[in-house]
Copies of this chain bind each other. A is one copy, B any other.
Amino acid sequence: MMLLGRGLDARDNQTRQMQDAVSNVEKHFGELCQIFAGYVRKTARLRDKADLLVNEIYAYAATETPNLKVGLKNFADEFSRLQDYRQAEVDRLEAKVVEPLKCYGTIVKLKRDDLRATLTAKSREAKQLSQLEKTRQRNPSDLHVIAENELHRASLDATRTTRHLEETIDNFEKQKIRDIKNIFSEFITIEMLFHGKALEIYTAAYQNIQNIDENEDLEISRRMLRKDEEEDEEEDEDDEEDDEEDEFDATKEMMLTWIHSCLDCVTSLLNTPAHSLGIKGLRLFC
């Protein structure tokens, strides 16, 4: 009796723990799903604004002197390319983070059905076992009526079901932790690929802006304004500025070459897990 009482307590405890665990996952995965979906939406809104920026830069560039025009257009090209990667980021977060979290609703429901069925079986078997025990204790003389092996079989059935329940809970816990690890790893990998690409693209875009030869454009402006008047020469000042610019550009150039080689390294490493580490479907990014 004592042993069966403890068994029932333990079962109640297991049931409560299991129900709490399932409800908790249902609640928090639901919330995470909603907030991640919001994060993805806001990323898409940011891309929309960036698209507007691209269009406005093209429109402005079209009105400008040749060097500024080319520099701004090239910047807009790069910035637009980055928005394609942002769109890929949005699509991938939707597919690899939001969707799996959304699916968890169904998974939790199936798990709950499985657990309920197992619990019902366990409860029925425990009652049967308890009944057999009681009968044996009340009528020890009727021992022949209740075959000893029947009692034994019922006891084995109850143990087997208990084990099945434990395994079901165990599998649920195992799948949950794996899914969390997987979803968060996907989130981080998708974000990292975007940030890596952003660094690479901005490096090129920076060069586009730095390459704008303002002195040549100023010369063109001057020539346009003075085409009916006499030319004069005030080139000394500009020449000095040219020297400063050259020095500035040389340092930048060196820095950017270094950053580029670093980025090549990061990029090739970011490519690695896509092939060899089983994070599939992210190679399009690279």
Contacts and interface: CB of A to CB of B under 8 A. Distances in A.
A129 to B, nearest CB: 14
Contacts of A139: none
A173 to B, nearest CB: 5
Interface of A, secondary structure class, is: helix
B178 A214 contact: yes
Interface in A163-191: 163, 166, 169-170, 173-174, 177-178, 180-181, 184-185, 188-189, 191
A91 to B, nearest CB: 17
A6 B248 contact: no
Nearest to A207: B188
Given A170-B218, A181-B214, A28 B56 contact: yes
Interface residues of A, number: 91
A192 B199 contact: yes
Interface of A: 6-7, 9-10, 13-14, 17, 24, 28, 31-32, 35-36, 38-39, 41-43, 45-46, 48-50, 52-53, 56-57, 59-60, 63, 65, 68, 71-72, 75, 162-163, 166, 169-170, 173-174, 177-178, 180-181, 184-185, 188-189, 191-192, 195-196, 198-199, 202-203, 205-206, 209-210, 212, 214, 217-218, 221-222, 224-229, 232, 248, 251-252, 255, 258-259, 262-263, 265-266, 269-270, 272-273, 276-277
